[in-house]
A and B are shown apart, each in its own frame.
Chain A
Amino acid sequence: MEKTRPLWATPLQFVFACISYAVGLGNVWRFPYLCQMYGGGSFLVPYIIMLVVEGMPLLYLELAVGQRMRQGSIGAWRTVSPYLSGVGVASVVVSFFLCTYYNVINAWAFWYLFHSFQDPLPWSVCPLNGNRTGYVEECEKASSTQYFWYRKTLNISPSIQESGAVQWEPALCLVLAWLVVYLCILRGTESTGKVVYFTALLPYCVLFIYLVRGLTLHGATNGLLYMFTPKMEQLANPKAWINAATQIFFSLGLGFGSLIAFASYNEPSNNCQKHAIIVSIINSSTSIFASIVTFSIYGFKATFNYESCLNKVILLLTNSFDLEDGFLTANNLEQVKDYLASAYPSKYSEVFPQIKNCSLESELETAVQGTGLAFIVYTEAIKNMKVSQLWSVLYFFMLLLLGIGSMLGNTAAILTPLTDSKVISSYLPKEAISGLVCLANCAIGMLFTMKAGSYWFDIFNDYAATLSLLLIVLVETVAVCYLYGLSRFESDLKAMTGHALNWYWKAMWGGVSPLLIISLFIFYLSDYIITGTLQYQAWDAAQGQLVTKDYPPHALAVIGLLVASSIMCIPLVALGTLITRRLRRGDPDPAPVA
């Protein structure tokens, strides 16, 4: 009895699913950082070129493969060539790693969301010390937002070796995060199709609200001007181009198998070329949109800090020289400083070391990315806004929507091959399979709620997916173009959708994109090899800042395992298929093919 494959109710659900998967946290916290580091407005040039040359073709390829083969990643690649199901397995393995650590971000977002309902916000004030005469020392040395993140949320240990115990608060939030994900994927496309309306559209509402709020903040224009002013000399920097290519690649979520999974639930006649172009353009526009919001918030924060710094200097001088209160302002500060230096030289030289040089530029230059941006910089800006609880709730709600939207795709990448497999789906209904996968991921995710969890999170974030994905997508492109045959694929697509394949896609798939991926791969490998030992940032509670440390051998072993376990799937499965085929050819009694 053949069960018909579940389909998306409308093509719009498919587009929303792809958008909500591709538009994730990376658009909010990685792109603005890259834009700032590599020349502001001029970064858009390599970014858009890479979008057209690399992003759109590869996205179209994955969607077309999924729609044509109508199976999850393992089945799809097995159809292309039986030796290549290893590519699918590698995708599933990488998706598994991704699911495990990605949902921890949602757990942290839940934690901050629940804490946003207090007045004052818990990260805006330092807690008092034992005898109530001052603040906790760690909080004094760092800032209240950093203290809340490193001590209250993560309860971070000084180094990765000291793993500590599982913290029950983030553990509870992780359980909740997995429960929410399970609720959304429970019924397959039926439930996912409804959820993606929210996860795709609501973040834009929040971003728009934040845009209006951000642009009206005091000092926002400082940030926008600084960041978007193009620094044309960065165009000559190869790192800018490499980072643009990498960002496009990972931002679209290629190679995980999620796009193949989503596309497999399409009607065969669906126009996936149009959808590929739409999704990639929306993804990049969202990045640029989010960076406008981020830069205006940066500008506000930098201006706020700059003015606080100035006020501290003013207070110091007023108190040391007993000047009239309110006499010193930001405008006459320099003149008064000169006057004091000449009139009271000895006293001035005493006070001088404590006078900080306040600079708006240096405040703007602090570039942050990743969890630091989302949970420290943004919260610091939010606590200074009026009605900060509302902005905080909105912001973390948006983070949650983005995160859960991406999780839907990540879990689909694992579940679709599992539910496609006749062996597993005959024993268990899909609710049970989803439940088991969520349970397994939740259990392993408890690792990230330990005291050293954040360090392990960084390991997974930096190494679990990067190299493997490049290799996977490279093998995918080569397989479709040269193993399956570009002309065969072209005629398949024509029969399926009714449109002929444009020469542009053929040129990209056949030549440009594989070359690009190979060069990215070589760059990454050489980067890893040249830097020698890998290092990480550890939080030093005594100093109240991050310090760089080397990874211990067992952490390096885990990194190696992470990379190897996914990459090795490709050759191992190919080898396995080769051996089983040889054995089968030697056997006179042909067993029925599975």
Chain B
Amino acid sequence: MGDIIDAENAFKVRLSIRTALGDKAYAWDTNEEYLFKAMVAFSMRKVPNRETTEISHVLLCNVTQRVSFWFVVTDPSRNHTLPAVEVQSAIRMNRNRINNAFFLNDQTLEFLRIPSTLAPPTDPSVPIWIIIFGVIFCIVLVATMLLILSGIQQHRRKHKGPSEMEDTEDKCENVITIENGIPCDPLDMKGGHINDAFVTEDERLTPL
């Protein structure tokens, strides 16, 4: 495979089994390589026009300790390698299945030059924060309204009370002025600045 390794249709794969699985890490041996070839062949068979891809068409080489290796997929005649674009799209479509076969994920089973489709974040139709905001806003608004209303009620009760008291006080004053025997003119309370002679009826009745 030496002459094909630099070909543009070859892809490097990198596995980080120990990082992903820790103590449960399995050793990378030829059986695992067989499984990998099978997964790649499986992915290629899903591409239209490539349903006849066999495991033997997938070639692996340069396996290192890392674990990393190069692979390439040939056509049935074994003379040409399949174009990179086809292999890329096939792997991307089945990335999840391939990852699961090896208990790995996109970060621990890397296909260099094949970008993975990142999972879109789950976007609910109504953002959650608005719901919580609405709930708290309504609670605070209702509490404020309740407090204001009870405050207004207290106000009214206070106003009714003192106003009744005020009426009786006025009556008392009227009684006192008459009881004194001296017909005190209410206008006298202004300190004597106004001459009664010039007072008209209207002015006498003007409230203080």
Interface check A132, CB cutoff 8 A:
yes
A106 to B50, CA, bound (A): 61
Interface check B83, CB cutoff 8 A:
no
Q: How far is the CB of B6 from chain A (nearest CB, A)?
A: 17
- Count A-B contacts at CB 8 Å: 78
> With A182-B144, A319-B66, A322-B64 as given contacts, are A176 and B18 in contact (CB-CB < 8 Å)?
no
Interface check B48, CB cutoff 8 A:
no
Interface check B176, CB cutoff 8 A:
no
Q: B148 touches which one: A173, A326, A431 (CB < 8 A)?
A: A431
Q: How far is the CB of B120 from chain A (nearest CB, A)?
A: 6
> With A117-B128, A186-B147, A186-B151 as given contacts, are A322 and B68 in contact (CB-CB < 8 Å)?
yes
Which of B15, B117, B118, B120 has the most chain A CB atoms inside 10 A of its CB?
B118
Question: Does B121 contact A322, Cβ atoms closer than 8 Å?
Answer: no
Interface check A172, CB cutoff 8 A:
yes
A89 to B116, CA, bound (A): 64
Question: Does B148 contact A186, Cβ atoms closer than 8 Å?
Answer: yes
B124 nearest CB neighbor, chain A only: A118
> With A114-B129, A125-B121 as given contacts, are A326 and B19 in contact (CB-CB < 8 Å)?
yes
Question: Does A179 contact B147, Cβ atoms closer than 8 Å?
Answer: no
Question: Does B66 contact A322, Cβ atoms closer than 8 Å?
Answer: yes
Question: Does A173 contact B133, Cβ atoms closer than 8 Å?
Answer: yes
Q: How far is the CB of A34 from chain B (nearest CB, A)?
A: 34
User: Interface residue tally of chain B, by bracket?
Assistant: 20 to 34
Question: Does A115 contact B120, Cβ atoms closer than 8 Å?
Answer: no
Question: Does B162 contact A325, Cβ atoms closer than 8 Å?
Answer: no
Which of B18, B25, B65, B130 has the most chain A CB atoms inside 10 A of its CB?
B65
Would you list which residues of chain A between 401 and 433 have a CB under 8 Å from chain B?
A: 429, 431
A133 nearest CB neighbor, chain B only: B115
> With A172-B133, A325-B66 as given contacts, are A134 and B143 in contact (CB-CB < 8 Å)?
no
Question: Does B151 contact A431, Cβ atoms closer than 8 Å?
Answer: yes
Interface check B1, CB cutoff 8 A:
no
Interface check A187, CB cutoff 8 A:
yes
Q: CB-CB < 8 A to A134: which residues of B?
A: 115, 118
A326 to B99, CA, bound (A): 20
Interface check A541, CB cutoff 8 A:
no
Question: Does B137 contact A179, Cβ atoms closer than 8 Å?
Answer: yes
Interface check B88, CB cutoff 8 A:
no
Q: CB-CB < 8 A to B15: which residues of A?
A: 325
A176 nearest CB neighbor, chain B only: B137
Q: A325 touches which one: B17, B148, B151 (CB < 8 A)?
A: B17
Q: How far is the CB of B106 from chain A (nearest CB, A)?
A: 12
Interface check A527, CB cutoff 8 A:
no
Question: Does B121 contact A127, Cβ atoms closer than 8 Å?
Answer: yes
Interface check A436, CB cutoff 8 A:
no
Q: CB-CB < 8 A to B184: which residues of A?
A: none
Question: Does A118 contact B67, Cβ atoms closer than 8 Å?
Answer: no
Instruction: Give the secondary structure class of B's interface.
Output: helix
Contact with B along A107-135 (1 / 0, CB 8 A): 00011001101100000010110001111
Q: A176 touches which one: B16, B120, B136, B148 (CB < 8 A)?
A: B136
A187 to B144, CA, bound (A): 10
Q: CB-CB < 8 A to B157: which residues of A?
A: none
> With A176-B133, A324-B65, A326-B19 as given contacts, are A187 and B151 in contact (CB-CB < 8 Å)?
yes
Q: How far is the CB of A78 from chain B (nearest CB, A)?
A: 29
Could you tell me how many residues of chain A have their Cβ less than 8 Å away from some Cβ of chain B? 33
A117 to B16, CA, bound (A): 34
Q: CB-CB < 8 A to B144: which residues of A?
A: 179, 182-183, 186
A326 to B19, CA, bound (A): 7
Q: How far is the CB of B132 from chain A (nearest CB, A)?
A: 5
B28 nearest CB neighbor, chain A only: A325
Q: CB-CB < 8 A to B160: which residues of A?
A: none
Interface check B141, CB cutoff 8 A:
yes
Interface check A167, CB cutoff 8 A:
no
A501 to B147, CA, bound (A): 42
Question: Does A191 contact B66, Cβ atoms closer than 8 Å?
Answer: no
A127 to B119, CA, bound (A): 10
Question: Does B132 contact A117, Cβ atoms closer than 8 Å?
Answer: yes
> With A173-B133, A179-B140 as given contacts, are A322 and B151 in contact (CB-CB < 8 Å)?
no
Q: How far is the CB of A110 from chain B (nearest CB, A)?
A: 8
> With A114-B132, A319-B14, A431-B151 as given contacts, are A183 and B66 in contact (CB-CB < 8 Å)?
no
Q: CB-CB < 8 A to A176: which residues of B?
A: 133, 136-137, 140
Would you list which residues of chain A between 313 and 357 have a CB under 8 Å from chain B?
A: 318-319, 322-326
Q: CB-CB < 8 A to B24: which residues of A?
A: none
A110 to B130, CA, bound (A): 11
Contact with B along A191-204 (1 / 0, CB 8 A): 10000000000000
Interface check B190, CB cutoff 8 A:
no
Question: Does A325 contact B18, Cβ atoms closer than 8 Å?
Answer: yes
A554 to B135, CA, bound (A): 41
Q: CB-CB < 8 A to B133: which residues of A?
A: 110, 114, 172-173, 176
A118 to B130, CA, bound (A): 12
Q: CB-CB < 8 A to A326: which residues of B?
A: 18-19, 25
A324 to B67, CA, bound (A): 7
Would you list which residues of chain B between 2 and 41 have a CB under 8 Å from chain A?
A: 14-19, 25
Q: How far is the CB of B140 from chain A (nearest CB, A)?
A: 5
Q: CB-CB < 8 A to A187: which residues of B?
A: 147, 151
Q: CB-CB < 8 A to B16: which residues of A?
A: 325
A118 to B151, CA, bound (A): 39
Q: How far is the CB of B122 from chain A (nearest CB, A)?
A: 9
Interface check A236, CB cutoff 8 A:
no
A180 to B147, CA, bound (A): 13
Q: B140 touches which one: A117, A127, A180, A319 (CB < 8 A)?
A: A180
B65 nearest CB neighbor, chain A only: A324
Interface check A594, CB cutoff 8 A:
no
Question: Does B117 contact A183, Cβ atoms closer than 8 Å?
Answer: no
Question: Does B66 contact A133, Cβ atoms closer than 8 Å?
Answer: no
Interface check A542, CB cutoff 8 A:
no
Q: CB-CB < 8 A to A132: which residues of B?
A: 117-118, 120
A114 to B126, CA, bound (A): 13
Question: Does B121 contact A128, Cβ atoms closer than 8 Å?
Answer: yes
Q: CB-CB < 8 A to A133: which residues of B?
A: 115, 117-118
Q: CB-CB < 8 A to A186: which residues of B?
A: 144, 147-148, 151
A183 to B133, CA, bound (A): 16
Please provide the 4 A-B residue pairs with the shortest distance between their CB atoms, ordered closest to farther.
A326-B18, A114-B129, A322-B64, A324-B65
Given contacts A117-B132, A179-B141, A325-B18, 17 further A-B contacts (CB under 8 A): A114-B128, A114-B129, A133-B117, A134-B115, A135-B118, A176-B136, A179-B144, A183-B147, A186-B147, A318-B66, A324-B65, A324-B66, A325-B16, A325-B17, A325-B19, A326-B18, A431-B151
15 A-B contacts (beta carbon < 8 Å): A115-B128, A125-B121, A128-B121, A134-B115, A134-B118, A179-B140, A179-B141, A319-B66, A322-B68, A323-B66, A324-B65, A326-B19, A326-B25, A429-B155, A431-B151
Residues of chain A touching chain B, judged by Cβ–Cβ distance below 8 Å, are 1, 110-111, 114-115, 117-118, 125, 127-128, 132-135, 172-173, 176, 179-180, 182-183, 186-187, 191, 318-319, 322-326, 429, 431
